[in-house]
Chain A
Amino acid sequence: MTTHNRRAAMTRQRRVLVTTAVAASLFAAAACSSATPDTDDSDAPDDSDGTSYGFETVEQDPSAPITVWVDASRQPAADAFIAANPDFPINVETYDGGADGSGSFQTKVEAFNQAGSGWPDVVFSTQNNDASWASQGTDPFAAPLDKGYFEQAFLDGFTPGALNPLTVDGTIYGLRNDLAPTVTWYNQSLLDEFGYDVPTTWEEYEALGEKVAVEHPGYIIGTVGDSFTPEIFFWAAKAPVNVVEGVDQLSCDTSDPKAVAMAELLDNLIAKGVLASQSVFSPEFVQSYGDKVLMLPGPVWYAGALFSNPDSLNAAPGTIAAGLPLAWDGETPAAGNVGGGTWFISRHSANLENAKTFLEWVTSDPAYQVDVAQGLPAYKEVGDLWLAKQAETGFFTDSFADNVSTAAGQVWDGWGFPKFSQEAVWAKTIIPELAAGKSLVDLLPAWETAIKNEAQVNGYQVS
């Protein structure tokens, strides 16, 4: 290489470097400037063809593919939709679904808000408290559905109360995928074999646990190892630990007699060894208790997720029954609720019509909700079909459809849907302490403090 050439190469190299550096600084500057909240959507024209969605939309493109986020368990929903609509332009991406209150849905949306682009069109979330934040803020994510976007007749097709967690200040911001009331699962054949009656009150449940501990040690009548344990026991016990009023008031009282009574009951049964301390999704649980589950209070989706799942409890057909929710002695029974997935549509979607088509299909079409879905569909018509199908297969005992329907109507309405996850608070505050052998009654004050702290940093007025 001659000197001349070398110099030319060097100049070229320098030019490349300078260009790169300038581009990099511009990029950094752009990143900085877009970090300030801007309102570039506000001056976007209203939808040109005159249809009103009830919110400001971006320019619509009927051929734009929609991006759908689902968790792994809802992948079959998207698959079923694609099978039924092979030419529909759609990209499906999986994420954790916000499980256990990981907050990934919200944090990702906030990142897109900062970037000013990148929002998915449709999102599935396992948490039913997401509307509380997705409907609020300077740049809310969730599109309101009942202001002209979805037909009222379709929205009316949901089981009464199913859309409550998605309703903020009277406006509906999402659709419910499935209902998840808690029922009292039990093994009918084992109960018959041992000669026990099915408990109908918490007092009878506790007495049964004490008997099992003595007469059939090793068998369990429930678990306390999951982040949603408070929703199974404290929600159903009508404990006022998560009371949300309006959009910014939260009260929590773990010293309430019902909360204390439930904590004492659980402490007693844990000490007797009839409540497992593992998560129902852990390999240890299946290993240790695969054939030792006598009773298991829990959400209705345990049906597909645990009992009929070959990788989990894999119960023998005809043995498992869904009992009615339990009551405190002399009171009306109440059910808790664990999740029940929710679907949201982004206000930023460029193809709102296709997003709507997808959402209507996935919540109300029997091809997914009846044939594939593991949980009780929230859309009434397919919900009834799903129950009928379960009755037909005979996997669960005869009372299944009736009891699940009853439970769905008994979910206690005193448990709120705040902006933070009660599951996350329980998981970090209580689970490690329970695993270390502490008593739940002693942990109640710490739990209350943790809930109130979390509420406070999320902008609630706490009492």
Chain B
Amino acid sequence: MSITDTTTAADPAVRGRRRAGGHRPSVTDRSARMSYLFVSGYVLLALAFGVVPTLYALRMSFFNGQGQFVWFANFIHVSQDFRFMPAVTHVGLFIAAWLIGLLFLVTLLALIIHSIGRRWLSSSVRFIYYIPGALAGASSVVLWLFVLDPTVSPVSAVLRALGSESLIQTVAPGNLPVVFAVIAFWTGAGGWIVVMYGALNSISIEVLEAARLDGANAIQTALHIQLPMLRKWISYMAIMSLAAGTQLFVEPKVLSQATHGVVPVDYSLNQLAYLYAFKQQDLNGSAAIAVMMLVVSLGLSVYVVIRGGLFERG
């Protein structure tokens, strides 16, 4: 099987469009060669900046600072750190809040936009959803600093209704997972809504028309036709978001500085790994944390891939 075949098969949008068009160009030798060329750029960069550093971290996590092989000593050492379990809990709660919100709301919003009949309205709503995504990383958190502070917030009434009179109360430890989830949703959801919208467009019109002829209303169509056909896309979104979510770093880091340390500098696992590397000068401990995060997110991703049928051709 050539690489072209795999990518085409795994890409429901492409397949749907082709089917609708009823025309499939034959794969010539030259374009097959080109495809290797195109893929090689990614593969080489992934090797250099993804695989090699990962293997390097894996190796480091089993050695100590003097270069001796120490089995699992680094893993035991970091997992006994008093900051480790709280950081695991923080990241876990954040991911739970974020993933559930993201999967549910993005799919819902995409379905709603898709059902809007007026073309200009649908495209402008998509554009508006997408705008926050333009504020990358730290800058969006800085903006949220103002939103979260009841004294300057445009939504201070909402914050006060939720019982917070100051920024410190808004970012109380119990609220943080939700606060970070809201920030992450706001910056990231727009892009996913556009992706989901694209995926919805790839569902062939014949199928939807058949459903309508059979008397299905919008909700029934969504539940029984569109959602099952979106399954792969939702799994894809879950995997990408899971990987991003375990990397929680910028949001707590910026909030920590803005709240004069009330949001701790060791809130998330990534921050802890950062402290190990650059404050305690323990790169091997840092590598151990990184490897644990890799194992967990890889495991969850494999689960989602299998359950979501992401690599199935059917």
B 36-85 contacts with A by CB, 8 A: 37, 40-41, 44-45, 47-49, 52-53, 56, 65, 67, 81-83
In the bound complex, do residue A457 and residue B47 qualify as a contact, i.e. CB atoms below 8 Å apart?
no
Q: Does B143 lie at the interface of the complex (its beta carbon under 8 Å from any beta carbon of A)?
A: no
In the bound complex, do residue B262 and residue A17 qualify as a contact, i.e. CB atoms below 8 Å apart?
no
| Nearest CB in chain B: distance from A209 CB, A | 22
In the bound complex, do residue B262 and residue A27 qualify as a contact, i.e. CB atoms below 8 Å apart?
no
Question: Of A20, A37, A424, which contacts B261 at CB under 8 A?
Answer: A424
Cα–Cα, bound, A35→B47 (Å): 18
A-B CB contacts (within 8 Å), total count: 120
Residues on B with beta carbons closer than 8 Å to the beta carbon of A25: 44, 47-48, 52
In the bound complex, do residue B261 and residue A453 qualify as a contact, i.e. CB atoms below 8 Å apart?
no
**Interface window among B204-212, B218-226, B271-279:** B271-279
In the bound complex, do residue A226 and residue B169 qualify as a contact, i.e. CB atoms below 8 Å apart?
no
Q: Does B152 lie at the interface of the complex (its beta carbon under 8 Å from any beta carbon of A)?
A: yes
In the bound complex, do residue B278 and residue A107 qualify as a contact, i.e. CB atoms below 8 Å apart?
yes
Residues on A with beta carbons closer than 8 Å to the beta carbon of B173: 432
Known: A24-B49, A32-B53, A107-B279. A283 touches B152 (CB 8 A): yes
Cα–Cα, bound, A89→B96 (Å): 53
Q: Does B256 lie at the interface of the complex (its beta carbon under 8 Å from any beta carbon of A)?
A: yes
Q: Does B151 lie at the interface of the complex (its beta carbon under 8 Å from any beta carbon of A)?
A: yes
Cα–Cα, bound, A34→B208 (Å): 59
Known: A28-B53, A457-B82, A457-B280. A436 touches B261 (CB 8 A): no
**Interface window among A96-104, A349-357, A359-367, A368-376:** A96-104
Interface hub of B152, B173, B264, B265 (most chain A Cβ within 10 A): B265
Q: Does A83 lie at the interface of the complex (its beta carbon under 8 Å from any beta carbon of B)?
A: no
Cα–Cα, bound, A113→B280 (Å): 13
Cα–Cα, bound, A287→B152 (Å): 12
Residues on B with beta carbons closer than 8 Å to the beta carbon of A28: 48-49, 52-53
Known: A25-B48, A25-B52, A436-B172. A457 touches B83 (CB 8 A): yes
Cα–Cα, bound, A435→B172 (Å): 8
In the bound complex, do residue B278 and residue A99 qualify as a contact, i.e. CB atoms below 8 Å apart?
no
Residues on A with beta carbons closer than 8 Å to the beta carbon of B261: 100-102, 227, 421, 423-424, 427-428
In the bound complex, do residue B260 and residue A279 qualify as a contact, i.e. CB atoms below 8 Å apart?
yes
Q: Does A255 lie at the interface of the complex (its beta carbon under 8 Å from any beta carbon of B)?
A: no
Q: Does A10 lie at the interface of the complex (its beta carbon under 8 Å from any beta carbon of B)?
A: yes
Cα–Cα, bound, A100→B260 (Å): 6
| Nearest CB in chain B: distance from A396 CB, A | 27
Who on chain A is nearest to B171 by CB? Answer: A432
In the bound complex, do residue B151 and residue A287 qualify as a contact, i.e. CB atoms below 8 Å apart?
yes
In the bound complex, do residue B48 and residue A110 qualify as a contact, i.e. CB atoms below 8 Å apart?
no
Cα–Cα, bound, A436→B262 (Å): 13
In the bound complex, do residue B44 and residue A20 qualify as a contact, i.e. CB atoms below 8 Å apart?
yes
Interface hub of A32, A226, A423 (most chain B Cβ within 10 A): A32
Known: A32-B52, A457-B81. A284 touches B278 (CB 8 A): no
Who on chain A is nearest to B38 by CB? Answer: A17
Q: Does A106 lie at the interface of the complex (its beta carbon under 8 Å from any beta carbon of B)?
A: yes
In the bound complex, do residue A424 and residue B265 qualify as a contact, i.e. CB atoms below 8 Å apart?
yes
| Nearest CB in chain B: distance from A407 CB, A | 24
| Nearest CB in chain B: distance from A16 CB, A | 10
Who on chain A is nearest to B276 by CB? Answer: A457
Interface residues on A, range: 35 or more
Q: Does A431 lie at the interface of the complex (its beta carbon under 8 Å from any beta carbon of B)?
A: yes
Q: Does B147 lie at the interface of the complex (its beta carbon under 8 Å from any beta carbon of A)?
A: no
In the bound complex, do residue A427 and residue B260 qualify as a contact, i.e. CB atoms below 8 Å apart?
yes
A 102-135 contacts with B by CB, 8 A: 102-103, 106-108, 110-111, 113-114
Q: Does B283 lie at the interface of the complex (its beta carbon under 8 Å from any beta carbon of A)?
A: yes
Residues on B with beta carbons closer than 8 Å to the beta carbon of A424: 261, 264-265
Who on chain B is nearest to A226 by CB? Answer: B260
Known: A432-B172, A436-B169. A102 touches B257 (CB 8 A): yes
Q: Does B281 lie at the interface of the complex (its beta carbon under 8 Å from any beta carbon of A)?
A: yes
Residues on A with beta carbons closer than 8 Å to the beta carbon of B277: 110, 114
In the bound complex, do residue A13 and residue B37 qualify as a contact, i.e. CB atoms below 8 Å apart?
yes
Q: Does A458 lie at the interface of the complex (its beta carbon under 8 Å from any beta carbon of B)?
A: yes
Residues on A with beta carbons closer than 8 Å to the beta carbon of B82: 453, 456-457
Residues on A with beta carbons closer than 8 Å to the beta carbon of B140: none
Chain B residues within 8 Å of chain A by Cβ, number: 43
Cα–Cα, bound, A279→B278 (Å): 29
Cα–Cα, bound, A110→B279 (Å): 7
Q: Does A21 lie at the interface of the complex (its beta carbon under 8 Å from any beta carbon of B)?
A: yes
Question: Of A17, A432, A456, which contacts B40 at CB under 8 A?
Answer: A17
Q: Does A50 lie at the interface of the complex (its beta carbon under 8 Å from any beta carbon of B)?
A: no
In the bound complex, do residue B44 and residue A227 qualify as a contact, i.e. CB atoms below 8 Å apart?
no
In the bound complex, do residue B48 and residue A35 qualify as a contact, i.e. CB atoms below 8 Å apart?
no
Cα–Cα, bound, A423→B259 (Å): 12
Q: Does A461 lie at the interface of the complex (its beta carbon under 8 Å from any beta carbon of B)?
A: no
| Nearest CB in chain B: distance from A98 CB, A | 11
- Encoded as 1 (CB less than 8 Å from any A CB) or 0, chain B from 245 to 260 comes to 0000000000011011
Cα–Cα, bound, A100→B255 (Å): 13
Known: A21-B48, A103-B279, A436-B169. A428 touches B262 (CB 8 A): yes
Residues on B with beta carbons closer than 8 Å to the beta carbon of A216: none
- Encoded as 1 (CB less than 8 Å from any B CB) or 0, chain A from 1 to 39 comes to 000000000100110010011001101110110011100
| Nearest CB in chain A: distance from B138 CB, A | 13
Known: A32-B56, A110-B278. A102 touches B172 (CB 8 A): no
Cα–Cα, bound, A200→B3 (Å): 82
Known: A287-B151, A432-B168. A21 touches B279 (CB 8 A): no
In the bound complex, do residue A17 and residue B278 qualify as a contact, i.e. CB atoms below 8 Å apart?
no
In the bound complex, do residue B281 and residue A137 qualify as a contact, i.e. CB atoms below 8 Å apart?
yes
A 408-435 contacts with B by CB, 8 A: 421, 423-424, 427-428, 431-432, 435
Q: Does B166 lie at the interface of the complex (its beta carbon under 8 Å from any beta carbon of A)?
A: yes
Residues on B with beta carbons closer than 8 Å to the beta carbon of A427: 259-262, 264
Known: A96-B257, A226-B260, A428-B261. A106 touches B279 (CB 8 A): yes
| Nearest CB in chain A: distance from B238 CB, A | 30
Who on chain A is nearest to B253 by CB? Answer: A102
In the bound complex, do residue A35 and residue B283 qualify as a contact, i.e. CB atoms below 8 Å apart?
yes
Residues on B with beta carbons closer than 8 Å to the beta carbon of A24: 44-45, 48-49
B 151-191 contacts with A by CB, 8 A: 151-152, 166-169, 171-173
Residues on B with beta carbons closer than 8 Å to the beta carbon of A268: none
Residues on B with beta carbons closer than 8 Å to the beta carbon of A96: 257
In the bound complex, do residue A432 and residue B151 qualify as a contact, i.e. CB atoms below 8 Å apart?
no
9 interchain pairs (CB within 8 A)?
A10-B37, A20-B41, A28-B49, A96-B257, A100-B257, A100-B260, A103-B279, A284-B151, A457-B280
Q: List residues of A whose CB falls within 8 A of some B CB.
A: 10, 13-14, 17, 20-21, 24-25, 27-29, 31-32, 35-37, 96, 99-103, 106-108, 110-111, 113-114, 137, 225-227, 278-279, 281-284, 287, 421, 423-424, 427-428, 431-432, 435-436, 453, 456-458
13 more CB-based (< 8 A) A-B contacts, given A21-B41, A281-B260: A24-B44, A29-B52, A31-B53, A32-B56, A99-B260, A103-B265, A227-B260, A227-B262, A282-B166, A283-B151, A432-B172, A457-B81, A458-B280
A-B residue pairs, 3 tightest by C-beta:
A427-B261, A21-B44, A428-B264
